[in-house]
Amino acid sequence: MIKPVGSDILRPLFVYDQDKHHELMHEAQGLPSVVISSQSAGNAVMMGGGYFTPLTGFMGVADAMSVAETMKMTNGAFFPVPVLNLLENVDAIRGVKRIALRDPNVEGHPVLAIMEVEAIEEVSDEQMRVMTEKVYRTLDMEHPGVATFNSQGRFAVSGPIQVLHFSYFHDDFPDTFRTAVEIRNEIIERGWKKVVAFQTRNPMHRAHEELCTMAMERTGADGVVIHMLLGKLKPGDIPAPVRDAAIRKMVELYFRPNTAMITGYGFDMLYAGPREAVLHAYFRQNMGATHFIIGRDHAGVGDYYGAFDAQTIFDTEVPPGALDIEIFKADHTAYSKKLGRVVMMCEAPDHTKEDFVLLSGTKVREMLGKGIAPPPEFSRPEVAKILSDYYQSLGK
């Protein structure tokens, strides 16, 4: 099986020994504590589940700077993005060895993890600037990732962590949330050797479905792990149970048995485009995937990144040998009226836009809201039905 990045085994930082867990929860109640940023909470959850193996906790500034500039820590180990625990105020934890990290996203801010504090460092303007520019390729504060990164505070509190809770992900996404440990085990249980990972946070229309099938065929994979980015809903988002039901129905009807796993992970999107694509590939290797689909403008936002920057970074910037997972480079897929099947758009150079069945997201939502099914070349009718029922229920 493909090994985790830089490690023979996965090292989830969640404390699975219940006695130890109980003891640490008890200890945490008496520790000085801080409410961490949502981004840091996402990082803690990812480390808890083994996705960031072999990291043992939050990076210090030297490692974060080194990672931002070269994707390597000061000890030479590969990591795609800084994993900083940035805080505005550290008065409560000055000079303390062990602290509790509290969850910003759950009522009452329960303890998420215990940290063994190695350093509290102030990050300079210049350091913030360098990290921002290297990771996001822009300093524009209109960029949502840049804005979030720069609004967390300037004190980097670093050190190894023991994770005690997976935040709200088990509550809100009980059927879907999975650790890298669980996905790795299930890949073995299912007897898969080659495994494609697919990133999504939306219901999947036919183009996405057939992209997964295409990737499996071309790589000779045994199955695809549909791996959803889970997070708090924003206005206009489709609720998790509806999205899940739509994806499950698609898998039930249009995938052969034992060729798709439906899973999700808890994390805050960085919108860092190419750099985030590398992070995405990193944790897909850790969960046991051998191939990762990266399409147009992966993890991008607005027009900050070129359409294929998130693919070329693997050839130009990722240190050779750093990752074993292979990138399945994709373009948009769509149904070709000429060919009567879904194709990758770049592979139909003789086609014009009119030769494809294309619909904007807005248009599709509008149709579904009126109970009009999008054409079957665009949406599987059974999937459209689930989404349509939901959109129509909003009007009532």
- Of residues 94 and 193, the one with the C-beta less far from a second copy: 193
Among 88, 175, 324, 382, binds a second copy (CB under 8 A): 175
CA 80 – CA 43 distance, rounded (Å): 13
Query: Which token pair is 319?
Result: 């240190």
| 266-285: contacts with a second copy (CB under 8 A) | none
Binding range to a second copy, per CB under 8 A, among 76-84, 93-101, 173-181, 356-364: 173-181
Among 7, 11, 21, 332, binds a second copy (CB under 8 A): 21
According to the binding rule CB under 8 A, does residue 324 interact with a second copy?
no
**Which of 310, 355, 350, 307 minimizes the C-alpha distance to 332?**
307
According to the binding rule CB under 8 A, does residue 222 interact with a second copy?
no
The 3-state secondary structure of 230-248 reads ECCCCCCCCCHHHHHHHHH
According to the binding rule CB under 8 A, does residue 14 interact with a second copy?
yes
Amino acid (one-letter) located at 142: E
Residue 134 and residue 67 in contact, taking contact as beta carbons nearer than 8 Å: no
According to the binding rule CB under 8 A, does residue 232 interact with a second copy?
no
- Of residues 147 and 188, the one with the C-beta less far from a second copy: 188
Tell me the three state secondary structure of residue 286.
Answer: helix
CA 50 – CA 88 distance, rounded (Å): 28
- In which order are the strands placed within the sheet that holds 260-266? 260-266, 223-230, 195-200, 291-294, 326-329
According to the binding rule CB under 8 A, does residue 108 interact with a second copy?
no
- Of residues 129 and 170, the one with the C-beta less far from a second copy: 170
Strand-pair category, 119-122 with 155-163: antiparallel
| 119-148: contacts with a second copy (CB under 8 A) | none
- Of residues 352 and 393, the one with the C-beta less far from a second copy: 393
According to the binding rule CB under 8 A, does residue 114 interact with a second copy?
no
According to the binding rule CB under 8 A, does residue 235 interact with a second copy?
no
Among 61, 195, 261, 277, binds a second copy (CB under 8 A): 261
Asked whether the bond before 320 is cis by omega within 30 degrees of 0, the reply is: no
Q: Helix and strand tally (H, E) in the chain?
A: 13, 15
Least gap, CB of 117 to a second copy (angstroms): 24
Among all residues, which ones are annotated catalytic?
A: 201-202
Which residues of this protein are in contact with a second copy, per CB under 8 A?
1, 14, 16, 18-19, 21, 165-166, 170-172, 174-175, 179, 181-182, 185-186, 188-191, 241, 245, 248, 251-252, 257-258, 260-262
